[in-house]
Every structure is written in structure tokens, then in C-alpha cells.
């Protein structure tokens, strides 16, 4: 949902595979993308083998990589 060019609304926790699919890339490619965000993910308590991403991380990654998410 957008308001004035800014995403508004609540994010939900998502699997890395779900976020990769929304980005239109393979899980391997998405994992490579996340290597550049290792410091941020670690600061959020997300290890490299984590499968589930919490809402604040989903929001950060969707904004950084311009991933369009349909929020129901």
C-alpha cells in the first residue's frame, strides 16, 4: 500500500524463499544479495541460516531491493 510515494501499512514475517519469489529471483541469488546486508541482519538477530525474516527486516529488504509485496 502506498501513500504519497511512501509505503504504508504493516509488514508480515516472511520466509526468505517467499521474499525471493516476490523479487523474481532464485533463493540462491537472494542469499547472495543478503551477503551485502550481513551486518544489518546480524544486528536484527538474524543468522545466515535463518529461514524466517521478521517484519522489520522484510520492510527493510523490500525497500532496499524495491520488491513489490501485496499486503492482505
Residue 71 binned pLDDT confidence (cut-offs 50, 70, 90)? low
Domain ranges of the chain: 12-64
CA distance 71 to 1: 7
* pTM greater than 0.85: no
Non-local CB neighbours of 65 within 8 Å, separated by 6+ positions? 23, 33
Residue 10 binned pLDDT confidence (cut-offs 50, 70, 90)? confident
Query: Which DSSP category does 14 fall into?
Result: E
Residue-wise pLDDT for 35-63, tens only, equals 999 999 999 999 989 999 999 999 999 99
Amino acid at each position: 500500500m502506498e501513500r504519497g510515494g511512501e509505503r504504508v501499512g504493516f509488514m508480515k514475517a516472511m520466509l526468505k524463499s517467499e521474499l525471493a519469489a516476490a523479487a523474481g529471483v532464485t533463493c540462491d541469488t537472494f542469499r547472495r544479495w543478503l551477503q551485502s546486508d550481513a551486518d544489518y541482519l546480524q544486528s536484527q538477530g538474524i543468522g545466515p541460516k535463518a529461514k524466517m525474516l521478521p517484519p522489520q527486516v522484510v520492510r527493510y529488504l523490500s525497500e532496499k531491493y524495491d520488491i513489490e509485496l501485496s499486503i492482505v
